[in-house]
Amino acid sequence: MFKLSLNQLRISLGAALRDTNYNVHYNWLLRFKSKPIEVSNKPAIVFSPHQDDETIGCGGAIALKRSQGIPVKVVFLTDGRYGRPNWIEPENIIEYRQQEASSALNILGIQPSQTQFLGAADGSLAQLSPEQRNLLINKLVEIIQSFEPQEVYVPHHHDGHPDHEATYSLVDSAIKASKMPIELLQYPIWMLWRNPLSSHKYLQKKSKAYRLFIGNFKETKHQAIAVYNSQTPNLPSSLKQAMFSSHEIFFKD
């Protein structure tokens, strides 16, 4: 019993440290390190590792663009099978998360025709064989060349989650292979929370931070996030606070 209590204390202190680290660095980024940007009129694709990353990371940007009639497509790379609360049966989780994503994106203004689920196994993106990686990159190139975006949104390359970082790498390779002039914007999800001792990674001089004021679309984003009831209840408190901010942060190299 004593050992269990100590372990619980260790976990609690670790989470508290990460929350404090997140709050300090997020607010520092927002107030001092980032520059303001306006939403552009460029057609965009949002690449999301899992069903919820797109709304947490750039739901406000999506809603802003769609309110102005700007084309936006959202592509999910994995099936999200391991993001399963205990009240959903294993055989139902993939369909459940797709339904959540479709409902959330409908709130943000994305039609089903502009939503694509590639269905790679959750947790597999960093462990693909060379052949599997090439096949997936070719599929991403096909999507990019078909939609012809001028902007692409993707998780930060140091986001602290293997699927997120692999998504950046795969999409970056696809953009280069497409030979199209596309602006790449990176959205952070776990980067400031996952490892308090390595948060300096996002401070690389070549990477510049920008903040987008989402204004009245803050509430629209809240409504879309609320749809993800299988994912959001157990998120860290600091991440939830950032999710409900009036700004979204993006990085450009």
Model pLDDT for residues 176-231, shown as the tens digit of each residue: 999 999 999 999 999 877 655 555 555 555 579 999 999 989 999 999 999 999 99
Band of pLDDT at residue 148, cut at 50, 70 and 90: very high
Model pTM score: 0.92
CA angle 56, 89, 221 (to 5 degrees): 15
- Evaluate whether 176 touches 146 at the Cβ level (below 8 Å): no
Could you read off the pLDDT of 99-122 as tens digits, one per residue? 999 999 999 999 999 999 999 999
- Evaluate whether 186 touches 46 at the Cβ level (below 8 Å): no
Residues in the chain: 253
Calculate the dihedral angle through the C-alpha atoms of 148, 149, 150, 155, rounding to the nearest 10 degrees: -140
Residue 197: its pLDDT value, please? 53
Band of pLDDT at residue 2, cut at 50, 70 and 90: very low
